[in-house]
Amino acid sequence: MKLATFNINGVKARIGALSDWLQEQKPDVALLQEIKSVDEQFPREHFEEMGYTVETHGQKGFNGVAILSRLPLEDISRGLPGDETDEQARYIEATVIGETRPVRMGCLYLPNGNPAPGPKYDYKLAWMERLRDRARALLALEEPALLAGDWNVIPQAEDAARPEAWVEDALFRPETRAAYRRIETLGFTDAFRARVRGAGHYSFWDYQANSWERNNGIRIDHLLLSPQAADLLRDAWIDREVRGRDKPSDHVPVWVELDA
């Protein structure tokens, strides 16, 4: 199966570009972040007519995640466990029934956390601790599983065109990178880094200051694979071309192909 994680920055604003991309690339599964829509306003029928099963976890104005799948979905769960008071819609999980085997997928929109330090940064780090608990539970299944989405984490200096500009930022502070590493080192494989080494590979370019034209990007959209999913990895790549189209999101799709 071919699947992509894609922060679309608003489903209403992106419906044209997203539909074009789906029809061209035909992902079996699209894990979407920042739908910026409540569930009732999400254009579900539009994507169903394109052959997708649609599961959303939205909220008004901001955040929101969704799973679009051509393959059957089972056992949908909405929200990241661990804090009943958290009202932000940033996590949805489902089992995708592949042709040869099922794959459990968590679709996440990790908090930005700026300004740091401060309450938003505290929320980010607390959210990452809850995600680590969920990651541990997924690994305990000992089955193909992945955690994919907009992590809002620059894992290493090579993942930013100008790392020096990010040292104080919530996306790159040492505590952020350490928290990300604590999840990865539980036993996950960064799918993209399993296939491509070196600097210069980004998944986000700011709308401001001609970041795209200057290739001033950062790599913050990641797919982490359980060992059983990593065994199925055929390929991984970033669809950078999408950023140069009309009315683009500020993020681009990051892909994996799995033998499933």
User: Does residue 20 sit in helix, strand or coil?
Assistant: helix
- Name the one range near DNA by CB under 7 A: 46-54, 134-142, 204-212, 226-234: 204-212
- Name the one range near DNA by CB under 7 A: 7-15, 23-31, 69-77, 235-243: 7-15
- Name the one range near DNA by CB under 7 A: 43-51, 56-64, 79-87, 234-242: 56-64
Residues in binding contact with DNA, number by CB under 7 A: 29
Contact residue for DNA among 207, 215, 231, 235 (CB under 7 A): 207
Binding mask 160-189 for DNA (x = CB under 7 A): -----------x------------------
HEC readout, 45-84 = HHHHHCCCEEEEECCCCCCCEEEEECCCEEEEEECCCCCC
From the CB of 70, what's the least distance to DNA, in Å?
24
Strand order in the sheet with 189-190: 73-78, 91-97, 102-109, 145-150, 221-225, 189-190
Q: Residue 206, annotated ligand binder? A: no
Query: Residues 150-164, buried b or exposed e (16+ Cβ, 10 A)?
Result: bbbbbbeeebbbeee
From the CB of 60, what's the least distance to DNA, in Å?
5
User: Does residue 223 sit in helix, strand or coil?
Assistant: strand
Contact present, 114 and 166 (Cβ < 8 Å): no
Question: What are the φ/ψ torsions at residue 147 (nearest 5 degrees)?
Answer: -120, 115
For residues 15 and 98, give the distance between their C-alpha atoms in angstroms, rounded to a whole number.
26
Q: Residue 39, annotated ligand binder? A: no
Contact residue for DNA among 18, 29, 36, 68 (CB under 7 A): 36
For binding to DNA (CB under 7 A), which residues are involved? 7, 9-14, 34, 36-37, 60-62, 111-112, 114, 120, 150, 152, 171, 204, 206-209, 218, 220, 247, 250
